[in-house]
Structure 1
Amino acid sequence: MSSRNALVRRTSRSRGTGEATAPPSGHGHEPPWWSLSPERARTLLLVAARPTICALAATILLVLVVMLTTGTDLTSAPGAVAATWLAAHQIPLTVGRTTLGLLPLVPTAILVLVAARECARAVPNRPTPVELGWLTGAVLAGPLLMTAVCLAVTGDAAGVTPLEPPGPVTAFGWVIVLYLGAAAGGIASRAWSSLCALVPVEIPEWAVLGARAARRTVLRMLCCAALATAVSFFTHLSRLDGAYHQAHNFTDVLGMTLLSLLYLPNVVIAAAGLLTGAAVQLGAGSVGLFGVTAGQVPGVPALIPLPEGPPAAWWPVLLLVPIAVGVLGGIELGRVGDDRPGAPWATLTSAALSTLTFLALAILGGGQLGAVGWVGVDLLMLVVLMVTWFGFGGFVGMVFARRFLAPTAPVEDYDDHIDDYDDYDDEDDYYYDDDDEDEDEDEDENDDYDDDPAVELDAELVTDIDDDVEVSIAAPGSAVPPADDIVDAEVVEPDLPEGDKTTGR
């Protein structure tokens, strides 16, 4: 009898995701775009549900604590929970005839950051546009559903409380804008190249440099505004007693303090606008570096840093702050920009994006405050002045850096290395390479077969097989059991020389 060798081929499997790879061409078809594996569906469900459930639980707890502390009847708790959810998403509320559009930014920032973090954790390795679309839809699904429920609750509670439900277009519009920003931020932090691939035109290098410089410019300007707010607060500590004159007990003091802390980002954004020369409007009154108009000012601790008139002669010196921030950004672009013709465009891009960012922050940080009226930064003055200071200062810094400073390594390269390291920071975010793991496991299994004396390997057969295919040859009568994952087998009988057909010798 002639000996026969069994040539075994094992198909590769994906590991770490629980999803099988697509069959080879000719053996199956690609799944439709709307189909999801169980593991991926579970991930998207967590993205949609976990941030919403956590936010709702925190809202209910906060409302119950406040109502039990103040002795309020719990019959209005559903309406209060719904109103708090809407307020946390910057949706204006109308209580009786009073419209409250000036809402704190701290809850909104927390909700957006949590949603962005959850989205970033769910970004797959090398995502496709379809996967990014599913992920964006999951980020929006939970908040939109909860907002619809809250609108229905406020409508039903109108007979118990004087709260009027906001318009659905306004409510859903704010939620979509906020969570689209969260999804974009989360995806960009993990798959910036995949996000850029969706853009139909190629993004020039100077635009990328300008965007990164704009991020640093915004952070520096906010830090300067926060420092100015802290200095002004300690300068006007004498107003502290007057800010708490409406507090009658410890609960009132604690409530006003927490409310002021929630409005602290609004105050910092207004201070940033004030440093550029734009006026901060308080209804009929206004405060600016060049003039102060008397108006009705709410008596809350958050407004203690607000300067009072008449303006001092040194106040216009504060205009050097945005100019210096713009000059510093221009120096960085002048030193790291290899594309000399594109550096001015990068400076202009940085100024434009920084201004647009502060415009969005000013819109979020302002609003209608009951009988006081509109409270916030003058938006038109803010745009004109920020473009001027950041653009002018940026060009001055860029020219100075080109003439007097030596070029240096791009700062954004360091940021990219940090981002790449952060991709593997958490265990849940670590993605294995399926091909590498399959190859390692295949080598281990081959070593097991090589150690068995009953297994012989034909060198001529091995050379005809691809590198990514595992080969094991079992002799007749071998005690080695077949592998569990063998899906295809081909029997090859080599031509043996004349001689003993039984032994093959």
Structure 2
Amino acid sequence: MSSRNSLVRRTSGSRGTGATVVAPAGPEPGWWSLSPERARTLLLVAARPTITAMAATVLLVLVVMLTTGTDLTSAPAAVAATWLAAHQVPLTVGRTTLGLLPLVPTAVLIWVAARECARAVPNRPTPVELGWLTGAVVAGPLLMTAVCLAVTGDASGVIPLASPGPIAAFGWVLVLYLGAAAAGIASRAWSSLYALVPIEIPEWAVLGARAARRTVLRMLGCAALATAISFFAHLSRLDDAYRQAHNFTDVLGMTVLSLLYLPNVVIGAAGILSGAAVLFGAGSVGLFGVTGGHMPVLPALIPVPEGPASPWWIGLLLVPLAVGVLGGVELGRTSDDRPGAPWATLTCAVLSTLTFLLLAILGSGQLGAVGWVGVDLLMLVVLMVTWFGFGGFVGMTFARRFLTPTAPAEDYDEYDEYDDDYYDDDDYDDEDAADDADPVEYDDPAVEVDGELVEDFDDELEVSIAAPGSTDEPADDIVDVEVVESDLPDEDKTPGR
């Protein structure tokens, strides 16, 4: 092998990459600077869910107006009001206030925004990148809400629609989409979001939060099952519910409206199972009694029981107690921290109760002449924290004494059902994809430097091969070396090598 055929240059690059990393000249870019690719990504996050939602709203309003023969001059105001109602902003038409709004459109909008945010989360995001992403998620809906408020204000002189207060409108939109941003970021970069918390979160709090999510889902599942059973038990009321419908359009409208209000009914059923009453203005429905009152005629309310209350209804209180016991059993079997397990159980009970409190607030409101409709919030908090807390401690104690401990289960992520190809959309250029590639390991050749054989040289050395016969003088930081094949077997050493 000819001598002086290799040059070794000290760089800050990685071994085996063959690239020289050059320190950028001048000051580093500030937090406000964005690359063109990242700016395009944030623009899509801000615009695409908003434009899609507005297009669906316009289409829905036009279909309803054309079907019912309504004059299209009020279409802009109807579109703006529908957008605000889908974000739980109370509306006032004439003297009637509509604050009890369906949750299905709201859930769909938040889900779409969260998915869009999850697709745009970079690998190993920085707090600045998460801030930009959160701002993009809320920017589009806030801008569209401002336009809708202006439209309803201009249309108030033509139709009896009062423009909602800007504080309530922007407040609802901001809270909803901040929750969507948090859900989307947590689904893809939970560790980065966890690192932003200024204090250290103990392990028992994390376990309690995961158990709370399972507890909420179980309780909602039990409430949905109870709603379905009650619906088929009172199926004879179906004719009375559709008695006010005069044609097929009215039947279809009432059916669709009932489906949109179905989550509100399930949340109310969860409150009733816990022992809290659901209020309908002056009336109420609960496990301990039913008070007569004016109730809207809607197929979605067929499952609501009528009085008087039966003694066996009290036995339904075992449902939230059983849900709490099951959560405690899981914590008792999977928690290795015995002193922290009771705190995890208490955390599960508190977070589950707070979640149901938020759901009850979303699923309640003013309903015209009926009055305030929704779960008794104070009784809901007291009863749910009692059932989940007491049942959790019972289940945890039982699991510790009689059950075999198991390894903690992997926390299920709703976004795991989608493979990585879902997120490899052309609209999102992953700037950090190259950083995630596993480096290729190469065997380091033995190098002879100034007559001395060196087998392991610095990882920060880059080997560049000079062209044969080159007359260029090496730089000051270049050392002449020769690659020596010292580990060849005897039979592979041929004369002349």
- CA shift digits 1:257-301 (9 cap, x unpaired): 000000000000000000011000001110011111110011110
2:422 is the alignment partner of 1:459:
no
CA distance in 2, matches of 1:369, 1:243: 18
Equivalent position to 2:422, from 419, 426, 431: 426
Residue type at the aligned position of 2:412 = D
> Given the two structures, how large is their TM-score scaled by the length of structure 1?
0.86
CA distance in 2, matches of 1:297, 1:250: 24
SS of the residue 1:94 aligns to: strand
CA distance in 2, matches of 1:320, 1:266: 22
- In the other structure, the counterpart of 1:134 is 132
Q: Spell out the pairing of 1:174-323 with structure 2 (5 A cutoff).
A: 174-323=172-321
> How far did 1:303 drift?
0.4
Q: Spell out the pairing of 1:36-115 with structure 2 (5 A cutoff).
A: 36-115=34-113
SS of the residue 2:156 aligns to: helix
Residue type at the aligned position of 1:175 = V
> How far did 1:364 drift?
0.2
- In the other structure, the counterpart of 2:338 is 340
CA 1:489–1:380 in structure 2 vs 1: closer, same or farther (change >3 Å)?
Answer: farther
CA distance in 1, matches of 2:406, 2:249: 56
- In the other structure, the counterpart of 2:492 is none
2:412 is the alignment partner of 1:415:
yes
Equivalent position to 1:476, from 454, 458, 468: 468
Count how many residue pairs are aligned between Structure 1 and Structure 2: 464
Residue type at the aligned position of 2:448 = E
CA 1:177–1:21 in structure 2 vs 1: closer, same or farther (change >3 Å)?
Answer: farther
CA 1:21–1:130 in structure 2 vs 1: closer, same or farther (change >3 Å)?
Answer: farther
2:322 is the alignment partner of 1:324:
yes
> How far did 1:196 drift?
1.3
> How far did 1:469 drift?
5.7
- Contact 1:290–1:311 (CA<8 Å) still a contact in 2? yes
CA 1:220–1:494 in structure 2 vs 1: closer, same or farther (change >3 Å)?
Answer: closer
SS of the residue 1:34 aligns to: coil
Identity %: 78
> How far did 1:395 drift?
0.7
CA 1:398–1:458 in structure 2 vs 1: closer, same or farther (change >3 Å)?
Answer: closer
CA distance in 2, matches of 1:136, 1:217: 28
- Contact 2:209–2:348 (CA<8 Å) still a contact in 1? yes
> How far did 1:31 drift?
1.3
CA distance in 1, matches of 2:39, 2:402: 57
Residue type at the aligned position of 2:51 = I
- Contact 2:7–2:480 (CA<8 Å) still a contact in 1? no
Residue type at the aligned position of 1:434 = A
CA distance in 2, matches of 1:410, 1:119: 29
> How far did 1:428 drift?
1.4
SS of the residue 1:245 aligns to: coil
- In the other structure, the counterpart of 1:33 is 31
Residue type at the aligned position of 1:410 = P
CA distance in 2, matches of 1:209, 1:490: 55
CA distance in 2, matches of 1:389, 1:224: 15
> How far did 1:5 drift?
5.3
CA 1:423–1:350 in structure 2 vs 1: closer, same or farther (change >3 Å)?
Answer: farther
SS of the residue 1:460 aligns to: strand
Residue type at the aligned position of 1:160 = V
- CA shift digits 1:319-341 (9 cap, x unpaired): 00000000000111111111111
Indicate the larger mover: 423-432 or 467-476.
423-432
CA 1:494–1:12 in structure 2 vs 1: closer, same or farther (change >3 Å)?
Answer: closer
CA 1:215–1:425 in structure 2 vs 1: closer, same or farther (change >3 Å)?
Answer: farther
- CA shift digits 1:144-203 (9 cap, x unpaired): 000000000000111221111100000000001101111111111111111111111110
- Contact 1:119–1:186 (CA<8 Å) still a contact in 2? yes
CA distance in 1, matches of 2:208, 2:481: 67
Q: Spell out the pairing of 1:394-413 with structure 2 (5 A cutoff).
A: 394-411=392-409, 413=410
- Contact 1:3–1:493 (CA<8 Å) still a contact in 2? no
- In the other structure, the counterpart of 2:23 is 24
CA distance in 2, matches of 1:489, 1:161: 82
- Contact 2:220–2:267 (CA<8 Å) still a contact in 1? yes
Q: Spell out the pairing of 1:369-384 with structure 2 (5 A cutoff).
A: 369-384=367-382
Question: 5+ unaligned residues in a row in structure 1: which ranges?
Answer: 14-19, 447-456, 479-487, 496-505
Give the aligned CA root-mean-square deviation in angstroms.
Answer: 2.9
SS of the residue 2:463 aligns to: coil
> How far did 1:12 drift?
6.2
SS of the residue 1:265 aligns to: helix
> How far did 1:392 drift?
0.7
SS of the residue 1:471 aligns to: strand
SS of the residue 2:180 aligns to: helix
- Contact 1:7–1:489 (CA<8 Å) still a contact in 2? no
CA distance in 2, matches of 1:22, 1:78: 56
- Contact 2:8–2:480 (CA<8 Å) still a contact in 1? no
> How far did 1:435 drift?
4.5
SS of the residue 1:368 aligns to: strand
CA distance in 2, matches of 1:181, 1:4: 63
Residue type at the aligned position of 2:395 = G
CA distance in 1, matches of 2:308, 2:234: 15
> How far did 1:229 drift?
0.3
Question: 5+ unaligned residues in a row in structure 2: which ranges?
Answer: 483-497
- Contact 1:3–1:476 (CA<8 Å) still a contact in 2? no
